[in-house]
Structure 1
Amino acid sequence: MGSAPDASDIVAVIERVKESGCDDVRVSRGKSRTIIGLLGDVSQLDPVELRGMAGVVNVVSVFAPYKLVSRDNHPERSTVWVGGVPIGPGTVTLIAGPCAVETPQQTLEAAQMARAAGATLLRGGAYKPRTSPYAFQGLGEAGLRILADVREQTGLPIVTEVVDPDDVKLVASYADMLQVGTRNAQNFALLEAVGEIGKPVMLKRGMSATIEEWLMAAEYIAQRGNLDIVLCERGIRTFETATRNTLDVSAVPIAQRLSHLPVIIDPSHSGGHRDLVLPLTRAAIAVGADGVIIDIHPDPEQALCDGPQALTGSDIGDLARVMTLMPAVTGRHRTPSAMPSDESIQASLRRTLEGARA
């Protein structure tokens, strides 16, 4: 269905579908569209009749196992809006901040550095699933409160990780976007919970997941009614030990071909070393990623989490230059700062972005 269809139009389509004997109906809502998915025997449905109903833009048969996130279902690539910030085709979005929230001062300084580099979204971990049970696990809700305070001071919407289905409501009450990390990429209870909460979701690729498994994980979120999903390639586990993970840049165009969802890259967790972050950022933009998510810390030597890969000091100026110059080379531009909540203003920006893509 088209953007923001009337509730009565949705009800009418669902009633018509059920009259034809198809009871398995799934409604998924995104910022700019609503998809009504039908599973099972649909032979009694007349596509021409459905196309003629109010609010219906198109009727398509989807054969991919990930039906809602497939390009078969939605041929045009999608833009996901996070606190007024677009992530999608035509732009390159920088998400940056500390891997872990440690103190109010550390988080504020990292956020200011991120904004100076051109970031329009702030990343920061309040819950940290770590390989070792003895490593820093995050500040929990205290960390979320710090992020909310920093958002007030900087204007940067928050992207933060949730690791437990029971914490989804709490984290969503603070965050503008929920992140599902690589260790939880196939935690299906968590995927369903974030799908039901109504906030945009960043889904990192599982460290050993195929692209199809990654998209199927996204389908769990979409199937629960949430189409505002951003895929994040963060490197996969291979035999190579020179980097923390192996960045699969080919995953970006492949995922964009198979799915309408935006795809970004994490050059920090893939490379694992500060000197690799900027080269991998350039590679991400060159291959067509819709954004990057980068670790920044004011004092990496004292960081409680992933200090060796965090940018700092003079790195910020270099990152700002990459974000200023590289998008134009690929026919796009850096994502603008967060827009006011006024829908008419956001609609105007959407038209501008669509014109840039055309």
Structure 2
Amino acid sequence: MDIRNMWIIPLAVVTILSGCSGSLSASSEEIMSNVLQDSPGQENYKGEGEFKLYMNEELTDQFSFEEFASSDGKRKIITVDKRNEDQISYTLNDGSRLLIYEEGGSQAQTLNIAGTELPVSQTQKEQLTAMLERMKNTHTFEVVGEEELLGHTTYHLKITANSKDSLLGDMELWVDQKTWFLVKSKSISGDVRSEVTYTALDFTPTFTEDTFTLDLPEGVDIVDIEAENPTQTGTVKEAAAALGEPFLVFPDGDQTVETVEWNVYGGELNRTEVTVYYTNNGVPTLTLSVFDRPADAELNGNVTVRGMPGEYTEEIRWLSWDEGELRYGILIDHPDLAKEDVMKQVEGMVLSDEQ
């Protein structure tokens, strides 16, 4: 599996919009067009804020955070879990590795990110621009008005899903008109509601040499995440052996297998996951993921795949279905590949031991 999928962006990570200025007389379309234009966002700042997560309107998670971000891509976030005896956690990106540590623990986790473009390594503007590009055909954008937050005049943007099955759901964003920094955000998806609110912001911080370091207590072991769950590479046949059974693949000629990987996960996940990367004339087209069918994660059935109830998520162009004892997922990588074309190709898939 791509190493980018192993990193979950910290809860406090927020997003930067790009340059648009002027009065509210500008239309929603004009403002959102400017949001997607190329221009630098606020990359150097220090902030404090709060994250809240609700399930069925019940507060289930609450964190305060302190965040440091430099223009060279370094990040440090300190979170305090308000619902877990003020447990303190640290996440550091020093430009070459990630280091994650929970105060009082005996282990810290590290991940080498040198030469790897993780979402957390992107500017916040780049992260949001990518998200908004994916949402242009699935959501409606509206400028609600202007509001003052922390002394900043913000645009209040409302992003509404066109379908109740939307993965990203509905969002509200409060964006500073001068720096295009996201000062506040709300997101609602199904029964889950989240809020991120900054309570203090400094766009001209002074950082020291120690700002983007993390001194661990004596005796703390540093565990390499990749070493714990190493990625194996090989052939489709070897991947099937690791999985314990043959699995569906595209016939020779439809797609070209670029790379086959698999990971063996322990702990709560406890599964082997196979990933096959397909190309056409050297250009990435599809990524196939296969693992044991989870018992407690039903698909919503908004599409039918190979006669089975499946699920398609437009925002990330992800198609999934269960067949036999396996769950299959396909990420459509090529922008010119339509969902309908991929579903036709999926109908022709064959078991790996039949090729």
TM over 0.5: no
Report which of the two has the higher share of strand: 2
Report which of the two has the higher share of helix: 1
Q: Using CA pairs under 8 Å that are at least 6 residues apart, name the structure with larger relative contact order, 1 or 2.
A: 1
TM class by shorter-chain length?
Answer: under 0.3
- TM-score, length of structure 1 as denominator length: 0.24
- TM-score, length of structure 2 as denominator length: 0.24
